[in-house]
Amino acid sequence: MLTPIIRRFSASLGVASALAGLPVQAQRAAAPRTPQFDVYEKSILDLTGAMESRQVTSRQLVEQYFARIKAYDQDGPRINAFIALNPRALEAAAALDAERRAGRVRGPLHGVPIVVKDNYATADMPTTAGSLALEGFETKRDAFMVKKLRDAGVVIVGKTNLHELATGITSISSMGGQTRNPYDPTRNPGGSSGGTGAAVAANFAVAGLGTDTCGSIRNPSADNNLFGLRGTAGLSSRDGIVPLSHTQDIGGPLARTMTDLALLLDATVGFDPADPTTAASQGRIPPSYASLAGEGGLHDLRDVRIGIVPALFGAAPEDAEVGGIVRRAIDVLRGLVGGVFEITIPGYDEALQGAGVIGFEFKFDLMDYLAPFPGAPVHSLDDILSTGLYHNAVSAGLKRQNAVESRHSEPYSAALAKRGVARQTILAAMQAQGLTTLAYPTLRRKPAVIGEPQAGSNCGVSASTGLPAMSIPAGFTEDGLPIGLELLGGPFTEATLIKVAFAYERAAHPRRPPPTTPPLRP
């Protein structure tokens, strides 16, 4: 599926095909000089600065990322992060280069290459959500967040693999196969946005978009030494995202640095008439998140009080290594904020139990999403099961969710009610103890070996309450696997989470690139 796409681009990585047949002297004159600038581990501001100073063009950036994808995604460690590369990426980059030469620069994302998860609708590429049953499905439109990024001047390098239909956390699908973790290709990259997480960690793009229904941004961020944000419900639009649960779905960024994450956040949040939940964000979004995470963005954090939740660290022997790494990361925060305390949340277990609604909503949400597309290859979960075009790893879950008979039921109503109880339970505990954020492991266990289940997710604290949560890199296990620390705040406190995470980044320098995808030789 992917190999022909990469082969199509391999000629453009050199310019041999474009220059073939010209005299040698003409070839030398026409061939662009190899830029001294290397995209490896560069930030958005690094890319922008290099384009502004004419060290490199957007097209050359895309060519470098394509070269890395060719070397490491299907060859070498075979990370397998992509479902499709964008056949118009070089053309889009060249057009943005022309705009820059003409003096029109859209902003800090002008000409910057990123990746998006393949459950975001894209006008110029199919949207498969990782399922062979949706192969070739064309929406002919961009999801709201994708359109906002294109308007900001982003170049989409390609669409990344995910756990099929976003229904799991190990990133295996019938359309894309198994994505591997660039820190250890025998292990999974988290999910369901594992393709985005692996691609950003491996420097196949500078940053990317994922979606989070229960951990699908935060888990791959933790497993790939990245920063990832699940915003407050309503912070960003779900319009154009293949749904798993309309109540719990939200899109958001994954990035190697906090500034990069904030720049993508600035470009993608805000009110969208097509998504009524975004009305809640009006008046609650600062002028710029990036200003909170830039060189001038260090803030006095003495009013920030962090509550460690021991119950979320786990008590099994298998939880101990991750728990120790996360506590050492919290020790860094202890020196930056006003206080760090171990806390209990009265009634927590009872409040969260049964507050998830994915199983009640997925079947009907998917049907509603596909209904406006009469030419779609399938129109329901039942159709997908009938085709047999899905990975065996998701078979049992899809059949179980397809067995739900009605959109409305007493158990579903009870689960929705529990969400309100869970939210109030956590907010009341935070208020009573004077806390700004809660802290706990994103995942209590390190990335599982491919083929084994991934245990230890704490995804429900945020997903079942609609409260924002940021996963930040906590450190590495003895065998070199990344671990994440999650910070959860009150409604629309993303600005505070960003300030804390940025201060931590400056103090801890947690970024360590994966050993399997080093810089390419010139």
Q: Which residues are catalytic?
A: 117, 192, 216
Q: Is beta strand 113-117 parallel, antiparallel or unpaired with respect to 251-255? A: unpaired
Q: Can you tell me the distance from the alpha carbon of 474 to that of 422, in angstroms, rounded to the nearest whole number? A: 27
Residue pair 357/248 in contact (Cβ under 8 Å)? The answer is yes
CB 367 within 8 A of CB 379: yes
Dihedrals phi, psi of 166, to nearest 5 degrees: 65, 30
Q: Are 218 and 442 in contact (CB under 8 A)?
A: yes
Task: Round to whole Å and give the CA distance between 48 and 39.
Answer: 11
CA 209 to CA 241: how far, in whole Å?
11
Type and span of the H or E element at 230: strand 227-230
SS3 175: coil
Identify the H or E element spanning 156: strand 155-160
Residues 6+ apart with CB under 8 A from 349: 311
Residue 382: how many other CB atoms lie within 10 Å: 13
Reading the block at residue 28, the tokens are 């030398």
- φ/ψ of 297, rounded to 5, equals -95, 10
CB 520: neighbour CB atoms within 10 A? 15
How far is the C-alpha of 346 from the C-alpha of 426, rounded, in Å?
9
For residue 486, the cross-strand partners are 440, 471
Q: What is the rounded CA–CA span in Å between residue 522 and residue 516? A: 18
Q: Where are the alpha helices (DSSP H) in 73-193?
A: 89-101, 144-151
E strands, 331-384, are: 339-342
**Token pair for residue 296?**
């001038």
Distance in angstroms (rounded) separating the CA atoms of residues 50 and 43: 11
Torsion of the alpha carbons at 203, 207, 208 and 212, rounded to the nearest 10: 110
